Structure 1
């Protein structure tokens, strides 16, 4: 089976499907746990709040299959909220358990007083800084690629070695990409980030179990 995009009612499925189509990637959109579990690669998109996203995954019976997919080595890509849900906990509108695939906490972006502070939510194009954890993901891109963001919360992995890319935000380097073995996360929207975003999706599609 080809790449499966997880449909749990919280994803930007149209633009992601269009991006995969442009790349010539065979894929399907599914909410069926059996089909998702049998996929060669899995993409977990998402928009919205952490707790609502986890509730939707739970209601769809997808929490256990997604954890098993990660455990057995199937390549998995989380995008935006999908990346955040990979974490152990999320602090958006309460304290919620996540998938626990990548140890860490999803917390609000750092704020600063004054007119010079970057606004929350962080919306727009940002220059990202790839780290050693994302060497293979970003190897075919320029040193400081531009990606498109829409978010107010970000993952803080327990192990800094998991961080694949960061952006500076109000005096802190904020994690915007993670990589742990077969599991990849992009806080930004590669499907909305032009040719460089498509290249990142292509690099994920080249991963094998």
Structure 2
């Protein structure tokens, strides 16, 4: 059966929880789908996250990689379209590293496009009543580094991409936008369920 590698991140920047890891774990606990689901929590650190991700990909040879992370100022689930070959850290990672204007992969291409069916996933999430959007860039912190690394490490016939999640209700700082835990878990489950679906061009020129 197809193998899906699903990842979240450990807490960072002084937080003691990360809703991405919690949503991934919630999906794993109740997963009854047709795929072989492999889940992992990645460190919020440039070197170790990339190394751990490459090891997981080499070990499991996944047909799809869906990495998730926190976008703390967002109220929407964001399907990322692009990983850029740039690290520009505004804060240190969990290993204390803070690279500035450094490549994710020396000598690699300037950018790699996600192969997730981004617009289709946004449509599925929206139909389920979840706030979702397509996002052009995953930033220049560890989330983007993981996306860029995954796209370079998977088989050429595999699907890979990144999803940014808002805070969950129980993890959000005061005043921060958030979604209920069950909605974040539903979003991740829907993405897993539709990761192999294909976008098609309809008569109006819209891709879903």
TM range (shorter): 0.3 to 0.5
Q: Normalized per residue, which structure has more strand?
A: 1
TM-score by length of 1: 0.41
RCO higher in 1 or 2 (8 Å CA, sep ≥ 6)? 2
